[in-house]
Structure 1
Amino acid sequence: MALGAHRVENTLRGPTDPEPASPLPRALLLRCLDGLRHGLLILDEAGRVALCTEPARALLAALAPDLAEPLSPRRLIAALRGAGALARADILRAARRLREEGAVSLDLCHRDRTVQVSLSRVPGTGMVATLEDISARRAAEASAAETARLDPLTRLPNRLLLRERLGAALDRLARRGEGCALLLVDLDRFKPVNDTLGHPVGDALLEKVADRLRATVRAEDTVARIGGDEFVVLQSAVRDAADTTALAQRLVDLIGRAYMIEGHLVSIGASLGIALAPQDGTDPDRLLKSADLALYRAKRDGRATFRFFEPTMDAQMQARRQLELDMRQALARREFEIHYQPQLNLLEERLTGCEALLRWRHPVRGMVSPAEFIPLAEEIGLIVPIGDWVIRQACHDAVRWPRPITVAVNVSPAQFKGDRLVDTVVSALARSGLPAPRLEIEITEGLLLQDDAQTLRTLHRLRDLGVRVSMDDFGTGYSSLSYLRAFPFDKIKIDRSFVRDMAQKPDGDAVIRAIAGLGRSLGMTTVAEGVETPEQMRRIRAEGCTDVQGYLVSRPIPADDLLALLARS
């Protein structure tokens, strides 16, 4: 059953090796072959087993426990097929490759054992097969493949595994008509947790959120984490939207409940965007995009809620994207312009200042509403360069006005980050030659809520330059009085909603009277915004406001028209 020692010795000896003094003993050669880690199986030209080492016998016995002696290729193949380690297709494929290429490699698997067999033709000898136990390697590869499909923090499926399971769900949809839903979950107020309590607390919070998601869904559903604070729930076997609505309501409620983490009581929320298959898409990319559009709507509608995808959302997002592209070019094309709305001093009956209001004259759209483009500019970060341009242009225009008329510029919270705002103001004043007291910076209470200390430092630096500072929309926030104590504003502007309420609510006059009295006691100018009728003017004058602004005085007008108005007045 084995090759002669002399034949094996000749196959092992190289062409330039010296002739040995005596042949290698057969027993020693066989012991050496049996000591190899890999198994060795040799078939002679007649197809008989010429050599089978002990490692090869052990590996074959593990794959085919019913393998009988004496060993032959026919019995070996039958035993492997009987154990399920070898299929007929594998035999045919291996035979074809041996004929065409002279070598083939295949994996034989039985239970938890995997053996790689490499077959090669040896001209004049027959065939040589090496057998290697690769069970540990395959297990490690499988473990690595599984790890690559899991989020390392939460051990939830990641984006890769989600796409595989979503693809499988869509296959079931195509074959059996079984619908599914994709729920994109984004955590609200997660970033402040990371910023204030640190990333370890943030990570622990994500793990708890993952646990709540797991506990909410069924075994056949999938929960995945695809980003920092973004999760996805793939709901299977969806009959109608009501199934998904019930799940979405549970998720919003459950994630929104308080968490206790390392002694900290943490409160967050969740916004969900939902896409249904097949009506919202039948491929993974389309469904993810639809769910993302629905999530954007949920966030715009106040967060801590869910929205289903609607076809109009895609058109609206495309329009928004085009508006963003146009706005990024608007500065370079000089499409922005400033209109100015005058403010009237009630005591002296003269114009004392003007508020700069940004306008966008689009070459195709015409005048674009500030309510449409300013929130988008703030969202994508364009408000900073646009805001800087407004300050420079307003100073350039105002220096031509009669002294001491001032110009007021609304400033976004984004412009208060770092020292950029102060540098922009210094540069604008220097280039235009406008005296600092004639420039007025308007802020809202929302700015002070974001970063009180940093904002107050910037405001004091502006005040040191001689620039005036006013609080816009006074009375609409929660801490108006505390902010007046924290910083000595030059002017407080009464929000137009109070002026509008004067004729509709019994306490409308009382609110304006209280604000006017507060301003008078603190030495601040009080400007009532939104004055449109003589009756409003009369009542505001009676309540003690010092200035008014609104359509009754003048609509916002371009810079050249303002010069003509100032000349007439």
Structure 2
Amino acid sequence: MSAIETSPVPIELAMNTAPSGSGPVGQASLAEEALRRLNRAVAVYSRDGAVQFSNGAFDALLRQPAFASGLAALFERTLALHSVRSEDTPLSLGERRVYQIETVPLSHGVLVTASDVSAEMAERKRVNDEARTDPLTGLGNRLLLREQLAELMSDLTLHPSAAAVLTIDLDRFKAVNDTLGHPVGDALLRVVADRIRSQLGRGDVVARLGGDEFAILQVDPQQPKAAESLAARLVDLLGRSYIVDGNLLNIGASVGVALLPGDCADGDQILKYADLALYRAKSAGRGTYRFFEMAMDEEMQARHTMEIDLRRALALREFSLVYQPQVNLDTSRITGFEALLRWHRAGGATVAPSDFIPLAEEIGLINPIGEWVIRNACREAAGWSEPLTIAVNVSASQFASATLIGTVVSALAESGLAPERLELEITESVLMDDTQSVIDILHSLRQLGVRVSMDDFGTGYSSLSYLRRFPFDKIKIDQSFIRGHEAEGPGGSAIVQAIAALGRSLGMTTTAEGVETEQQLSRVAAYGCTDVQGFLFSRPLPPDKIADVILNNRAQPSEPPRKTNDTQGGDSL
């Protein structure tokens, strides 16, 4: 096939080109004039590539080598593909000018038209970019990251290269939003985005996945060293103080890292693996980074199975309560019991509370489980032969749900239990997020006649300020000060003595938790604690054992009940 002509030629129509008149000649002249004046570039080529007709707009384009080259390739394709009526090809001619060429086979030639679609293409690019850009930070978004990952994963099969995906989650960001408002939170995210950008290499892709979550796709032959270096820099830089709208802010960052193609060969899975590593970093105390290990996926699968079983357990009533006595040191009498939750997993062993309570809190099941505990504890305690107290642990989630007071009122009414016999135990973590709201709820509970205790006292940061703001009925001294490393040195002893003295001055009962030996009992009694709880006296007991314990306690008031053979110990909800 001969090459097409790429030089402008005078217009010569096959039909007569008379200047005026009617009939075929006049119509041809009119058509020629119309085509000449048309802004759209038009030409007719013979099948051997000779220009039969071209207007001025086409001649101007034809002088540009890029247009002529693109047209030649397209012309040959048009002649080769007889079944194709037209072919559209955007062609860039520099200076942001883009033309779309269309070729239409004719009976004895080819019609060629070219249109300036620069504005249309620019708008299309703008819309395309917006669809892949996070409007708040200007970073890419999840769509962009997924596309870049997919492109990289397809290239890895042909051109293996080392890459890594890093997922980033900000620590303590929610507190900024809650206390200072979303405008400050948004401004902080923009500063965070700038700090992340400053650490990237030329080929790195960064995206904001939503909220305070970010991700980076890093291609570097020096993996995993390059990813570890970047993760360490991000943890350090993002953990430094910020000044935003006149506010001094301190947050942190945790980072999870997964490697390509070593960890897997699927974009969605590599993001999942990076998230698992991020979860491990946050579990390790935040402000750090972790690389994905296959054991993490196995643990997550086990966790997912437990989540399914936990949801089923609530419906199938696989939970039960056991009760651990609390003993007054002056009278050696049992004053009450603490209700502890147990889960007897279907087809398996009993699950430790420390394994499923955090999961229940995370997936939002702690509220219905906690309500079940309150109702059942009240109902069972109402049947005891003596009016002993029943203590129930209440989580921060239950306070945040705003249904706690209604649950307590309903449970007391249904069971007939006297309000003063119900004791709700809270930890300092309940007070840390929204102190005033929690204090208001505690006062409402007190007005009902319900007793309130602070559990695990001494392990938080603001214990004394909480005691000043709300008059608790009881302080429970964390077992780490009674046994373990803290109890061995003079520091632990001093803390227990100080708490006991504080309780006496405020008129509060002080209960030492975790007492297991006679030596520990003598020590806490000497320090001034009023009550004790622990395996030395009894492990947690099933409901059918309580009546005998109460009867024995009544018959032998001077002899503290000794520990039983029940092996289910530990704290729970």
**Which category describes the TM-score, using the shorter chain as reference length?**
0.7 to 0.9
User: Given the alignment, which residue of 180, 186, 204 partners 1:221?
Assistant: 204
Larger mean Cα displacement after TM superposition, 378-387 or 222-231: 222-231
CA contact (8 A) 1:63 1:85 kept: no
Q: Which residue of 1 aligns with 2:560?
A: none
User: Given the alignment, which residue of 37, 40, 43 partners 1:38?
Assistant: 40
Provide the secondary structure at the position in 1 that maps to 2:198.
Answer: helix
Tell me how far apart the structure 1 counterparts of residues 541 and 23 of structure 2 sit (CA, whole Å). Answer: 112
User: Given the alignment, which residue of 345, 348, 356 partners 1:373?
Assistant: 356
User: Given the alignment, which residue of 504, 512, 530 partners 1:546?
Assistant: 530
Larger mean Cα displacement after TM superposition, 286-295 or 329-338: 286-295
Larger mean Cα displacement after TM superposition, 163-172 or 271-280: 163-172
Provide the secondary structure at the position in 1 that maps to 2:475.
Answer: strand
CA contact (8 A) 2:335 2:388 kept: yes
Higher relative contact order (CA 8 A, sep 6+): 2
Tell me how far apart the structure 2 counterparts of residues 184 and 398 of structure 1 sit (CA, whole Å). Answer: 49
Larger mean Cα displacement after TM superposition, 39-48 or 475-484: 39-48
Shift of 1:337: 0.5
User: Given the alignment, which residue of 9, 13, 22 partners 1:2?
Assistant: 13
User: Given the alignment, which residue of 387, 390, 400 partners 1:404?
Assistant: 387
Larger mean Cα displacement after TM superposition, 545-554 or 234-243: 234-243
Shift of 1:442: 0.6
Larger mean Cα displacement after TM superposition, 551-560 or 158-167: 158-167
Provide the secondary structure at the position in 2 that maps to 1:86.
Answer: helix
Tell me how far apart the structure 1 counterparts of residues 319 and 450 of structure 2 sit (CA, whole Å). Answer: 25
What is the CA deviation profile of residues 476-535 of structure 1, one whole-angstrom value per residue up to 9, with x for unaligned ones?
Answer: 222222222211111111111222268622354443333222222222222111111222
User: Given the alignment, which residue of 146, 158, 168 partners 1:163?
Assistant: 146
CA contact (8 A) 1:59 1:133 kept: no
Unpaired runs of at least 5, structure 2: 1-11, 554-573
Unpaired runs of at least 5, structure 1: 11-19, 67-78
Tell me how far apart the structure 1 counterparts of residues 216 and 37 of structure 2 sit (CA, whole Å). Answer: 54
Q: Which residue of 1 aligns with 2:98?
A: 114
| Structure 1 pair 254–260 and aligned structure 2 pair: CA distance change class (3 A) | same
Instruction: Tell me, yes or no, if structure 1 residue 151 matches structure 2 residue 134.
Output: yes
CA contact (8 A) 1:63 1:110 kept: no
Tell me how far apart the structure 2 counterparts of residues 45 and 310 of structure 1 sit (CA, whole Å). Answer: 64
Q: How many residues align?
A: 540
CA contact (8 A) 1:86 1:108 kept: no
Larger mean Cα displacement after TM superposition, 245-254 or 408-417: 245-254
Tell me how far apart the structure 2 counterparts of residues 241 and 25 of structure 1 sit (CA, whole Å). Answer: 74
Tell me how far apart the structure 2 counterparts of residues 33 and 229 of structure 1 sit (CA, whole Å). Answer: 59
Instruction: Tell me, yes or no, if structure 1 residue 514 matches structure 2 residue 498.
Output: yes
Instruction: Tell me, yes or no, if structure 1 residue 342 matches structure 2 residue 325.
Output: yes
Q: Which residue of 2 aligns with 1:86?
A: 71
Q: Which residue of 1 aligns with 2:226?
A: 243
Tell me how far apart the structure 1 counterparts of residues 237 and 123 of structure 2 sit (CA, whole Å). Answer: 38
TM-score by length of 1: 0.87
| Structure 1 pair 7–431 and aligned structure 2 pair: CA distance change class (3 A) | farther
Tell me how far apart the structure 1 counterparts of residues 86 and 515 of structure 2 sit (CA, whole Å). Answer: 92
Letter in 1 for 2:328: N
Instruction: Write out aligned runs for 1:384-463 (5 A).
Output: 384-463=367-446
Instruction: Tell me, yes or no, if structure 1 residue 131 matches structure 2 residue 114.
Output: yes
Letter in 1 for 2:71: L
What is the CA deviation profile of residues 376-409 of structure 1, one whole-angstrom value per residue up to 9, with x for unaligned ones?
Answer: 1111111111001000010111001123201000
Tell me how far apart the structure 2 counterparts of residues 510 and 131 of structure 1 sit (CA, whole Å). Answer: 90
User: Given the alignment, which residue of 537, 547, 550 partners 1:563?
Assistant: 547
CA contact (8 A) 1:238 1:244 kept: no
User: Given the alignment, which residue of 485, 491, 505 partners 2:489?
Assistant: 505
Provide the secondary structure at the position in 2 that maps to 1:204.
Answer: helix
What is the CA deviation profile of residues 16-75 of structure 1, one whole-angstrom value per residue up to 9, with x for unaligned ones?
Answer: xxxx999967655544444444344456899976654x3xx3134224447xxxxxxxxx
Instruction: Tell me, yes or no, if structure 1 residue 270 matches structure 2 residue 253.
Output: yes
Shift of 1:113: 3.8
TM-score by length of 2: 0.87
| Structure 1 pair 537–8 and aligned structure 2 pair: CA distance change class (3 A) | farther
Instruction: Tell me, yes or no, if structure 1 residue 61 matches structure 2 residue 45.
Output: no
Provide the secondary structure at the position in 2 that maps to 1:166.
Answer: helix
What is the CA deviation profile of residues 203-261 of structure 1, one whole-angstrom value per residue up to 9, with x for unaligned ones?
Answer: 22222222222222222323222222122222222324333222221111111111111
Tell me how far apart the structure 1 counterparts of residues 330 and 47 of structure 2 sit (CA, whole Å). Answer: 119
Tell me how far apart the structure 2 counterparts of residues 240 and 50 of structure 1 sit (CA, whole Å). Answer: 61
Q: Which residue of 2 aligns with 1:364?
A: 347
Letter in 1 for 2:13: A
Instruction: Tell me, yes or no, if structure 1 residue 198 matches structure 2 residue 200.
Output: no
CA contact (8 A) 1:360 1:368 kept: yes
